[in-house]
Structure 1
Amino acid sequence: MKQEPDLDAVIRQRIRGLRLSKGWSLDTLAERCFLSPSTLSRIETGHRRIALDQLVPIARALDTSIDQLVESAEGDDDVVIRPEPQHAAGRTTWLLTREPTANGTTVAKMRLTPQPDDATRGLGVHPGHEWFTVLSGTARLRLGERTILVETGDAASFSTMVPHAISAHGGPLEILTIFDRDGERAHLHAGKAATAPGEHEA
């Protein structure tokens, strides 16, 4: 199996990393993939080329696929996300994920400023669950009939089937929030038109 030197090194790192993440010794992996510990050691350290007939049982033993082991690392350097701010009246949003994660969640940072009618605006309802933590300031979480103040360093988690809204209390507010699929649609798509200026319908 012919491999580029850089890819060859990545494969070795992946094999070793997966083995260690399972808490396995060389002997344990060797037993599971029917290779000798010395052969595996030479593969991991680069003293032996990796042959396809060795890679197949190694991938199977590590509960992965050959495709995942040999997947190009070309995009691995592109790991920094530089979010562009999205502005609305009283609110700025930075998306911190390029797209929803495997479980359908989107991470965002929001900066809210107090608005005159924060306490009287309508509450939003949608399927799902939401979590946020306050980076700075104080959040006013209106949850059904309750109003809860969430201070810097605290977090809140709640069902979004309860009527709710988040606004800034007493000054600018910055939060880090995680939306599920329904929340992402409600806040970042339909919410752009439906959310009153300055308030985040969580």
Structure 2
Amino acid sequence: MDELPDVAPRLRELRRRRGLTLEAAARRAGLSPAHLSRLETGNRQPSLPMLLALARIYGTTVAELLGEVPAERDAITRGGRMGPAEADGWTYRQAGGRGRAMQALRVRVAPGAQGDLVRVHPGEEWLYVLEGRLRLGLGDSVYELEPGDSAHFDSLTPHRIAALTQDGAELLFVHTLLQSPDPHAHPHA
């Protein structure tokens, strides 16, 4: 029987990109943390139902988990074509093409959802508040953002996002998988 392509590194990368611990992702997928760990290290091959569950949790497709890349990427994302994805009180809608180093999303943050979840991962993030008020914790600083406010930061800085308004908050959210260049780096001669 043919083995699946090596999905282990993608599973770990997608879980980390979503800011999920091994335990949290395993719980959502109905797996034990040890089982998910074995999938991420390549010691076990996932079944199709496991791939479907993990793809749903990570906001992607089984095709992407398997490393399939579409032949041509569409530069246009039509608003009505992308259905929402929900996870822990956040509703995501693609606002840009999939499978790129920069991901653009329109996000609805429900009040009280994930406000204590601290995220740290490689890359950059930019967000723009469309409606509602948002609390953004960056390292030791806390900011309250209103419609029209934006933030742009290196996502290795520990960060937390929470809605402050009763109806939640909506924002445009862009993140990259690449780190910002260090402005203080000095090349060696």
- Provide the TM-score with structure 2 as the length reference: 0.49
Higher alpha-carbon Rg? 1
